[in-house]
Amino acid sequence: MNVETLEDLFGLQLQHAYYAERAHVELLSEMADAAPTDDLREVLADHRAETDAQIDRLEDVFAALGRHPRTSRTRSIDGLIESWHEHRSGSGGDPAVPSALEIALTGERLEIRAYESLLTLAGRLAYADDVVEPLETTLAEERAAVEALEEVETAESILKTLAIEEG
Ligand SMILES: [Fe+2]
């Protein structure tokens, strides 16, 4: 699509967010199934369930703007999917290949940035609550997901440190 106005930019970013969430449904399911610990599995599975509602909310936003829901690919999400495939195909021991937890954190942080940007644009465009509120609800969920993943990360790094000290 041609991006000439702020409305166009908002529409494109909405399609990017829709692409990201739809990719995350699959990604989070696969990552939860393969999670090395129960804690990580639980966070990923919980967020997988939230992601379904986030997709519905984006569809509501498309509808509020009189648009059909459409996805538009982004390189950052495609890169994330590629990292996961590399990880899954057994390069998990390679330090250059990120862990499932790192991939999940990157994905959620990308989503936070996408929703923050959408909300900034929505403010500039003076869009009504039927556009703004669903985006705010989802942004709050994405932030909570990052916090939950960071807690798992902290717990894991403490366990790793203890294991090293115990030799
Ligand atoms: Fe998310």
Could you report the per-residue pLDDT of 115-148, keeping only the tens digit for each? 999 999 999 999 999 999 999 999 999 999 999 9
Q: How confident is the model at residue 104 (pLDDT cuts 50, 70, 90)?
A: very high
Answer with the residue of higher pLDDT: 167 or 90. Answer: 90
Q: In the structure encoding, which two tokens stand for residue 74, read together?
A: 């982004």
With a cut of 60, say whether residue 92 has pLDDT above it.
Answer: no
141 in Cβ contact with 54 (< 8 Å): yes
- Is residue 71 over pLDDT 60? yes
d(CA 84, CA 36): 14
- Using a pLDDT cut of 90, give the percent of the chain over it: 82
The pTM assigned to this predicted structure is 0.92
Report how far ligand 1's centroid is from the alpha carbon of 18 (Å): 11
Residue ranges of domains in the chain, CATH in brackets: 6-166 (1.20.1260.10)
The dihedral built from the CA positions of residue 49, 52, 56 and 57, taken in this order, carries a sign that is positive
pLDDT exceeds cutoff 90 at 27: yes
pLDDT at 91: 62
19 C-alpha to center of ligand 1: Å? 12
pLDDT at 157: 86
56, 60, 62, 64: CA torsion to nearest 10: 180
| pLDDT given at position 159 | 86
How far does residue 16's CA lie from ligand 1's centre (Å)? 13
Ligand 1 center to 108 CA (angstroms) = 5
- Sequence-distant (6+) residues with CB within 8 A of 152 are 37, 39, 40, 43, 101
* 92 in Cβ contact with 112 (< 8 Å): no
Spatial separation of the C-alpha atoms in residues 161 and 95, rounded to whole Å: 18
Section 58-63 average pLDDT? 98
Task: Using the predicted structure, report yes or no on whether residue 167 has a pLDDT greater than 70.
Answer: no
